[in-house]
Structure 1
C-alpha cells in the first residue's frame, strides 16, 4: 500500500498564523517593504485631509503597486484580487484588501510625486555603496499607448468623412420633413441618426482644430530652423564672397498636412514605427542606465518617434541629480542620438560623448578590432573627433557597455516584467507611469545587488 502524506484542509491552526513566517527573508516583497518604509512619504501623507473614512496608508498602496509592476501585474483589479490570492501581496497589504478604485485613484493622484521617490531610491542605492554614477548608457524604446491605432484619423481622412457625414445629415433632414416616411427602414430613428452624425461632426471639428494647432507649432519650429540655416548661408557667402554650394534649404509650408494624425482615444500618443516592422499607437520611453549596475538613473517619455532631440533633456535631468548622485563622466548612445548639436551639448556639460555616428558592421575584420585609428587631423569637427574616439580600443570597449547595459534593461522590462503597454493616457500621466515602472525595475535590481 502506498504511503501518502495526507492533505488535511479541515483542521484549524492551533495558533494564529503570522504573515512574516510565510515569506523567505530574501523575498522581493519583503525588500520592497523595507525600502519603502525608509522613504520620505510626507509629500503624499500631507495631501490627505483626514475627513471621511480612514484611508489606506500611502506606503501600503505604493508597495502593492511597485511589486505589481515588478512582477507583471498592472491592472488595479488584478492587484486587488492578488491581495486575496497571493501570499506576497497579502504580506505587502498586511492582510488588508484595498479595492481596485483605491489603487487606481492613488496611482493617478500621486504621479507627480513619483519622480522624487524615484530619486530617493537611487540615493539609497548610493548610500548602500551600490551605485557609483560614471558611464551612463542612454536608449529609448516604443511602448504601446492605451489606445488603438485604428482610433487614429488623418487630417485628409477627416475632411473626407466630414463631407460624407454632412451629405448624410442633409439626406436625413430631407426624410424628416417628408409627410410620408415610407423610405425610412423599419427600426430607424431619424432624430437618433441625426444626433449621432452631429456628434461625430463635432468631434471631428475639435480634432481638426487640434491638428491645426499642432501644425502651427511645427511650422514655427521649422521656420526658426530654416531662418537659422539661411542666415548661416548668408554669413558664409558674405565671408567668402562665393555662393554656398548645394541646394538651399526648402522653406516650410504652414497648415496641416493630409497625413497628420490624431488619436481620438489618446490624442497625445503618436503613430510610431516599431521593431520588426509595422506601426503602433505608442510613446517613446527613454532610460539612462548606469553601466556598472544597470540601475536606471534618469527617465523620460517623448512623442517623437526618433531619439535625436532627447539628449539635451536627459543632460538637464542628470545635471539636476548630480548633487545627489554625482557627476556623469561619459554618455554612451547609439546612432539614433548622433548630431553635432548633441555632441556639443555633452561637451558643454563636461560629459564625454560616445555616440555612434553610424551602424557598425556585425563582423568587422580582426585587424580592425585590434588596431588603433590613424591620428586625428587638427581641423577635425566634433563629429569626426568622436568618431575617432569610438575607433580606439578604449572607445570600443566603453561603447560595448551599451549593449550589455541598457538594451537588456528594456528587454527585461518588456519580456520578464511584461510591461509593453501603458495603462494611463496623456503624456503627463504616461511619464509618471514610466517612472513607476523604472522605480520597480530599480528595486528589483537592488534586491540582487544589495550586500548580503
Structure 2
C-alpha cells in the first residue's frame, strides 16, 4: 500500500508565519540583508519627505536590487514578480510586495548613492579580514549598451537623408500651395507629412551636431598626439644628424568623417569590438580587483574601446580609497594598458607597475619558464626597470595572478549572474548600474569567503 504525505492547501496557519523561518541559516539573501543593515542609509532616508502614504524602507528596496543583480534578476517587473514567487525575495521584502514603479524609481533616484555604499561594503570586508589591498589587477570588458547598433546614424547617411528630406519638404510645400489644382493622394495629409519630415530633420540636425562635437574633441586629442610625434621625429633627426626616413605623420582633420556616427537610442554608447569578433553598441566597463579576495575595489565605465587611457583615472580612484581600504602596492595589467606615460604614472603614485609591454607568447618551453633572471640594467628608466622585473621568476609569478584575478570576476558576472547588457541608458546611469553590479558581486564573493 502506498504511503504519501498528506496534501493540504486549505488549512490556514494556526499562528502567523515568521519570514525568519523561510530560509536556512546560511543563505545569500540573509547575508545581503545583514550587510545592508550595517550600511549608513541615513542620507537616503532623509531624502524622503515623510508625507503621504508610508514608503518602503530604502534597505528593503536596496536589498531587492542587490540580491536581484547577484542572482540574475534585473528588471523591476521581474523583481516585483519575484516578491511573490521567490522565498528569498519574500524574505528580503519582509513578505511585502513593492511594485515595479517603486523599484524602478528608487534605482533611478538613488543611483548616485551606490558609489558611496559600494565603498562601505568594502570597508566591512576589510574589517572582517576578507580584503587586503596589496596587489591589484586592472582589466576591462565590453558590456552591451541598451541600444542596437542598427540605431546608429553615420555622418554620411545622415547627410544623405537630410538632403532627401529637404527635397521632400520642398515638394510638399509646392503641393500644399497647389492643393486646389493638383490631385492629392487619398488619405494623405500634407500638413502631417510636413510635420513628420520637419521632426526628422530636427533629430538629424541634433545627431549631426553631436557628431561634429565629437569630431572637434577627437581633433584636439589627435592634434596633441601629432605634435608629439613631430617633436619626437625632430629630436631623432638631430640626434642622428640626418633626416629620418619614411613619410612624416599626416595631420589630423577637424571635420567629421563619413563613418563617424551617433546612436539615436543611447547617444553616449559607442561601437566597439566585442569578444568573438565583430562590433556592437557597447560600453567599456573597468574593474580593479584585489588579488586573493577577488573583490572589486574600484570600477569605472568609459566610452573608449582602448584601455590605454584608463590607468591614470584608476590610480586616482585607488588613491581616493587608500585612507579607508589601504594602499595598493602593485598594479597588474595586460598589454592594452601599456605606455611609457602609464608606467611613469604608477611609479609616481608609489605603485609598482606590472604591465605587459607586449603580447605574451603561448606554450613557452621549460627553458624559458625556468630561465634565470637577467642582469639588472644600470640606471634604468621606469619602463626598463619594469621589463626587468617582469623577466625575473618572482615577477613572472606575480604577473601570473593577472589572468586569475579579474577575468574570472568578469566571467562570473556575465555567465553566472547573467549581466551581459546594461539596462539603463546614458553614461552616468550606466556608471551607477556598474557600481550596483560590482557591489552585488562583492557581496556574493564575501558570502563565499565567509563559507570558506
Q: What is the TM-score of this pair, normalised by structure 1?
A: 0.96
For 2:13 and 2:96, the matched residues in 1 are separated by 20
Aligned to 1:333: 333
Q: Per-residue deviation at 1:359?
A: 1.6
Q: Give the structure 2 partner of residue 424 of structure 1.
A: 424
Does structure 1 retain, via aligned residues, the 8 Å contact 2:390–2:396? yes
User: What is the deviation of 1:188?
Assistant: 2.7
Measure, in 1, the Cα distance between the counterparts of 2:276 and 2:60: 40
1:348 matched residue in structure 2: 348
On the 8 A contact 1:135/1:328 being kept in 2, the answer is yes
- Aligned partner of 1:296 in structure 2 is 296
Q: Deviations for 1:197-235, whole angstroms, at most 9, x for unmatched residues?
A: 111111000111111111111112222232334344445
Indicate conservation of the 8 Å contact 2:374/2:392, yes or no. Answer: no
2:283 aligns to what?
A: 283
What is the aligned partner in structure 1 of residue 192 from structure 2?
192
Cα drift, residue 113 of structure 1: 1.1
Q: Which moved more, 1:237-246 or 1:401-410?
A: 237-246
1:159 equivalent in structure 2 = 159
Aligned partners of 1:245 and 1:175: how far apart in 2?
64
Alignment RMSD: 1.8
- 1:26 and 2:26 aligned: yes
Tell me how far apart the structure 2 counterparts of residues 42 and 247 of structure 1 sit (CA, whole Å).
63
Give 1:49 deviation, angstroms: 2.0
Return the alpha-carbon distance in structure 1 between the equivalents of residues 335 and 368 of structure 2.
Answer: 20
Residue in structure 2 matched with residue 170 of structure 1 by the alignment = 170
What is the match of residue 99 of structure 1? 99
Aligned partner of 1:140 in structure 2 is 140
1:365 equivalenced with 2:365 (yes/no): yes
| Distance in structure 2 (CA, Å) of the matches to 1:120 and 1:303 | 27
1:2 aligns with 2:20: no
1:5 Cα deviation from its structure 2 partner: 1.9
* Residue 7 (structure 1) shift: 1.6
Of 227-236 and 286-295, the range deviating more from structure 2: 227-236
- Conserved 8 A contact 1:175-1:181: no
Name the structure 1 match of 2:205. Answer: 205
The change in CA–CA distance for 1:241 and 1:444 in structure 2 (over 3 A counts) is same
Cα distance in 2 for residues equivalent to 1:285 and 1:15: 50
Runs of 4+ more than 6 Å apart: none
Contact 1:128 1:450 in 2 (8 A): no
User: Which residue does 2:321 correspond to in 1?
Assistant: 321
Contact kept, 8 Å, 2:346 with 2:353, in 1: the verdict is yes
Q: CA-to-partner distance for each residue in 1:173-201, whole Å, 9 max, x for gaps?
A: 23333346775443332222221111111
Deviations 1:44-88 (Å, cap 9, x if unpaired)? Answer: 112122222222111111011000000000101111111111111
CA distance in 2, matches of 1:183, 1:144: 49
Q: Distance in 2 between matches of 1:35 and 1:340?
A: 42
Cα deviation for residue 242 of structure 1 reads: 4.7
Maintained 8 Å contact 2:347/2:382? no
Q: Secondary structure of the equivalent of 1:450?
A: helix
Distance 1:158 1:310 in 2: 32
Distance in 1 between residues matched to 2:361 and 2:182, nearest whole Å? 72
Post-superposition offset of 1:387: 2.6
The answer on whether the counterparts of 2:219 and 2:254 sit within 8 Å (CA) in structure 1 is yes
Q: 1:301 touches 1:430 (CA, 8 Å); kept in 2?
A: yes
User: 2:184 & 2:340 partners in 1: Cα distance?
Assistant: 66
Q: CA deviation at 1:27?
A: 0.5
Aligned counterparts of 1:346 and 1:374: Cα–Cα separation in 2: 23
Q: CA deviation at 1:438?
A: 0.3
**Unmatched 5+ residue regions in structure 2?**
none
Alignment of 1:253-272 (within 5 A): 253-272=253-272
Q: Distance in 2 between matches of 1:229 and 1:135?
A: 34
Q: Secondary structure at the match of 2:436?
A: helix
Q: Distance in 2 between matches of 1:372 and 1:184?
A: 87
Range 295-304 or range 53-62, more displaced: 53-62
Distance 1:400 1:184, change over 3 A: farther
**1:112 aligns to what SS in structure 2?**
helix
- Cα shift at 1:290: 0.6
Residues 138, 289 of structure 2: 8 Å contact kept: yes
Q: Does 1:112 align with 2:112?
A: yes
Where do 1:435-450 residues align within 5 Å? 435-450=435-450
Distance 2:186 2:397 in 1: 75
How far 1:245 sits from its partner (Å)?
5.3
Structure 1: give runs of 5+ residues left out of the alignment. none
SS at structure 1 position matched to 2:111: coil
> Secondary structure of 2:354's partner?
strand
Structure 1 residue 2, shift from structure 2 partner: 2.1
- Equivalences, count: 452
2:285 partner SS = strand
* Distance in 2 (alpha carbons) for counterparts of 1:276 and 1:294: 25
Contact map agreement 2:308 2:337 (CA 8 A) in 1: yes
Match of 2:192, SS?
A: helix
C-alpha separation in 2, matches of 1:199 and 1:347: 54
* Whole-angstrom CA distance in 2 between matches of 1:223 and 1:447: 50
